[in-house]
């Protein structure tokens, strides 16, 4: 870009990660931010109202549209210098109910954005948020229960790195994995400066906490509201949790280091220092809120990863990124958002698909 005016497109920009990213970009002088979102998810209008109240919001434009509409995507990509492709169907359960729609949003929608970027002639920086689900159920990772969590048995384990074989498990894993590989290949074949983030659990403010938008917030809001929570499996499933602002730091880092990061795939999560199991998180929420847990256990669902921890060393080698925010920081920021936005969160909870509140095992990440 070499100092030329920046226009950043965020597909799915009204959502949890997108709104946090838009805020960061609007805080950078002169950066124009273009949000492209179909506004179908609960809570996104609340996020847009917040963004439009921020300093710098005069540089914000919001276009309602769908990534499945190739013409609309082509129009919105025109003249952008960078693309953050976050729009997605995010629920394993939804992909099981309607694999066709899941494919059209995640795989075909991503191809539409890639083609628009390629045909623009500008070669915009392109960041795609993929998922750890592309690694499947990690059946070859030996785990055993120790106390209230799974742990890896055998040699010293430092997390899953990018050399782990792909093993899509569920229509959601297939659609996100196909898109992941298209984004990677467009860097090699068409010389687009693309980066793929294979993300673990992201949590923080502006997360509305239903089954589709993050289990940490979902648990906290459910406990505060006195709603029962269904756990699939024994509750010892482990994830590394990353604060959304650390994720945004990583996004900024790979764009700034574009000459080194273009064409690369990075695993991204909280790493070994930010590991927690499902039941440990619930007990911590119970301790902090003073509200009792109402839990129901059901059988583990197929494809669940009993343990997933990201090895982020590759990203750290390629950039100066490090995660700084702790699990305590994550919890405090989500709780603070709940205090400020409890009415919007309550409305969102009343319109969610599942009752009582449920954590789908495959969606722990």
91-131 tens-digit pLDDT: 777 888 899 999 999 999 999 999 999 999 999 999 999 99
Token output for 168:
């899509």
300 confidence band (pLDDT: 50, 70, 90): confident
The residues assigned a catalytic role are 172
pLDDT given at position 211: 54
CB 116 within 8 A of CB 126: no
Of the chain, the percentage scoring pLDDT greater than 70 comes to 92
Q: What's the mean per-residue pLDDT of the chain?
A: 90
Q: Is residue 254 scored above 60 in pLDDT?
A: yes
230 confidence band (pLDDT: 50, 70, 90): confident
CB 217 within 8 A of CB 342: no
The CATH fold of domain 7-209+241-272+307-325: Rossmann fold (3.40.50)
CB 21 within 8 A of CB 47: no
For residues 284-310, give the mean pLDDT: 90
Q: Is residue 1 scored above 50 in pLDDT?
A: no
Give the ranges where 257-326 is alpha helix by DSSP (H).
258-261, 278-289, 313-318
The count of C-alpha atoms lying within 13 angstroms of the C-alpha of 146, restricted to the half-sphere facing its C-beta, is 10
Q: Where are the domains of the chain?
A: 7-209+241-272+307-325
Residue 23 CB partners (closer than 8 Å, separation 6+): 51, 54
Tell which residue, 117, 56, 38, has the closest CA to residue 82: 117
How far apart (Å, rounded) are the C-alpha atoms in residues 254 and 251?
5
Find tokens 């990677």 and name the residue.
184
Residue 45 CB partners (closer than 8 Å, separation 6+): 14, 39
Q: Is residue 209 scored above 90 in pLDDT?
A: no
Find tokens 């080698």 and name the residue.
317
For residues 168-182, give the mean pLDDT: 93
Tell which residue, 312, 37, 73, 306, has the closest CA to residue 197: 312
pTM score, two decimals? 0.93
pLDDT given at position 213: 57
Of the chain, the percentage scoring pLDDT greater than 90 comes to 78
């Amino acid at each position: 870009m070499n100092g030329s005016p920046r226009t950043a497109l965020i597909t799915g920009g009204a959502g949890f990660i997108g709104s946090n990213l838009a805020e960061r970009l609007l805080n950078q002088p002169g950066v124009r931010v273009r949000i492209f979102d179909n506004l179908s998810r609960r809570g996104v209008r609340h996020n847009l109202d917040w963004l439009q109240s921020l300093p710098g919001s005069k540089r914000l434009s919001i276009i309602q549209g769908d990534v499945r509409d190739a013409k609309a995507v082509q129009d919105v990509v025109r003249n952008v210098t960078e693309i953050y492709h976050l729009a997605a169907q995010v629920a394993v359960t939804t992909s099981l109910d309607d694999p066709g729609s899941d494919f059209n949003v995640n795989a075909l929608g991503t191809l539409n954005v890639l083609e628009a970027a390629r045909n623009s002639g500008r070669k915009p920086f392109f960041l795609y948020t993929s998922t750890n689900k592309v690694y499947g159920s990690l059946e070859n990772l030996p785990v055993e229960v120790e106390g209230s969590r799974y742990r890896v048995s055998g040699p010293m384990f430092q997390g899953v790195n990018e050399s782990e074989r792909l093993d899509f498990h569920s229509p959601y894993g297939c659609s996100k994995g196909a898109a992941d590989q298209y984004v990677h290949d467009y860097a090699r074949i068409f010389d687009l400066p693309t980066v793929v983030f294979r993300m673990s659990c992201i949590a923080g403010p502006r997360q509305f906490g239903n089954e589709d938008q993050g289990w940490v917030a979902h648990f906290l809001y459910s406990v505060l509201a006195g709603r029962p929570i269904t756990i699939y499996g024994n509750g010892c499933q482990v994830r590394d949790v990353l604060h959304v602002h650390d994720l945004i730091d990583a996004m900024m880092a790979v764009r700034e280091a574009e000459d080194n990061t273009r064409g690369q795939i990075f695993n991204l999560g909280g790493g070994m220092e930010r590991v927690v199991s499902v039941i440990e998180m619930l007990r911590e929420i119970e301790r902090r809120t003073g509200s009792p847990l109402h839990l129901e256990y059901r059988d583990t669902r197929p494809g669940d990863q009993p343990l997933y921890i990201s090895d982020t060393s590759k990203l750290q080698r390629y950039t100066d990124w490090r995660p700084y925010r702790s699990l305590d920081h994550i919890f405090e920021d989500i709780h603070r958002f709940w205090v400020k936005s409890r009415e919007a969160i309550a409305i969102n909870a009343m319109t969610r698909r599942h009752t009582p509140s449920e954590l789908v095992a495959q969606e722990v990440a």
